[in-house]
A and B are shown apart, each in its own frame.
Chain A
Amino acid sequence: MAEPRFRPGDTVRVMKAYPLGHVRTPYYIRGHTGVIERVCGSFPNPEELAQMRDGLPAQPLYRVRFMQNEVWPDYRGNPADVVEIEIYQHWLEPA
């Protein structure tokens, strides 16, 4: 199992990358900065499972909270509105 690098409250940036393959990090959130809301545990990497490999070592999975205003420049609504997304550790870097 890969060691968790982040804790709740840490600020993280999602990799701005567009590889091929099966990816669970939505396109719209890549390159954006958010805050770790919780650690969900560790799970086999779905990018590897999708290619019929075992996905080990398991990757820590986080729920990351993003401010809607930051994600969508034209966002209308309460400035405190958020979107929360599960993101695997290998897609995150410290910010």
Chain B
Amino acid sequence: MKDQGKYQALTYYQLMEVSLRELLVEKGLVTEQQVAATVEDMRRRTPERGARVVAHAWTHHEYKARLLEDGTRACEELGLDVPALKLVVVENTPQVHNVIVCTLCSCYPRMLLGIPPDWYKSRNYRSRMVREPRAVLAEFGLKIPRQTRIRVHDSTADMRYLVLPMRPAGTRGWSEERLAALVTRDSMIGVALAKQPRSK
């Protein structure tokens, strides 16, 4: 529990978590060390991992082709451990905009982006993205031109999806590291574009 300076009663669900964990430890099914290590593993999985993959694809044509062909293998090539991830990478272009949703629960490429944000798991996003993607994207501030086709990916089974956003103009010659800083989580879900470089 967070130290908030005074005692706070556990909620029913927090009580359930503590109880279940202690029972599993007593039965020898998990250890506190394993729980802590698993929490830390998950904490290390942040959108910076996805951004690294995107920036590498932006700067290496052949890598990009391999990434679109077999996302999992291409991640492993970069030394990212992606256990159990079957990754499909879909590329945004001026002609096609891709966006990801899971209408049944909240499937998400956790190995590359971490734990999904609350809105991704919300009823409003899950219900509406498949039926009115343009309206929902506009609520995110993203206006998709009518002539651009939209591909909505309802991530319902064993694959996980990552959007390869378009490389922003004005970044010719940039290093991968600098490019990766433009790649936001939302741009890899497909509800935003990559950040534009600041003109100086």
Contact = CB atoms under 8 A, between A and B. Distances in A.
A78 B148 CA distance: 7
Given A26-B103, A40-B86, A83-B130, A77 B159 contact: no
A72 to B, nearest CB: 6
B150 interface: yes
A26 B156 contact: yes
A12 to B, nearest CB: 15
Interface residues of B, number: 23
Contact of A77 (B150, B153, B156): B150
Contacts of A29: 154
Contact of A86 (B130, B133, B152, B158): B158
Interface string B151-169: 1111111110000000000
Contacts of A82: 149-152
A61 interface: yes
Contacts of B146: 77-78
